[in-house]
Copies of this chain bind each other. A is one copy, B any other.
Amino acid sequence: MAPMDELDAAILRELQSDARKTNRDVAATVGVSPTTALDRTRGLRRRGVIRGAILDVDLALIGRPVQALIAIRVRPPSRRNIEGFRDWVAALPDTLGVYVTTGSEDFIVHVAVPDNTSLYAFVIDRLTERPEVADVRTSIVYEHIRNNRIAPCHSTGTE
Binding site for B on A (CB under 8 A): 2, 4, 12, 15-16, 18-20, 47-59, 61-64, 69, 86, 90-91, 93, 95-105, 108, 110, 112-115, 117-118, 137-157
Knowing A19-B53, A114-B157, A153-B64, the reply to whether A99 touches B69 (Cβ < 8 A) is yes
A55-B153 in contact (CB<8A): no
Knowing A153-B62, A154-B63, the reply to whether A86 touches B145 (Cβ < 8 A) is yes
A156-B115 in contact (CB<8A): yes
Contact of A61 among B2, B118, B156 (CB under 8 A): B2
Copies of this chain present in the complex amount to: 2
Knowing A18-B52, A69-B108, the reply to whether A63 touches B102 (Cβ < 8 A) is no
Bound state CA distance, A99 and B99, in angstroms?
A: 13
Chain A at the B interface: SS class: mixed
B114-A153 in contact (CB<8A): yes
Taking CB atoms, residues of chain B closer than 8 Å to A149 are: 93
Taking CB atoms, residues of chain B closer than 8 Å to A56 are: 50-54
A54-B54 in contact (CB<8A): yes
Q: Report which residue of A55, A114, A145 has the largest number of chain B beta carbons within 10 angstroms of its beta carbon.
A: A55
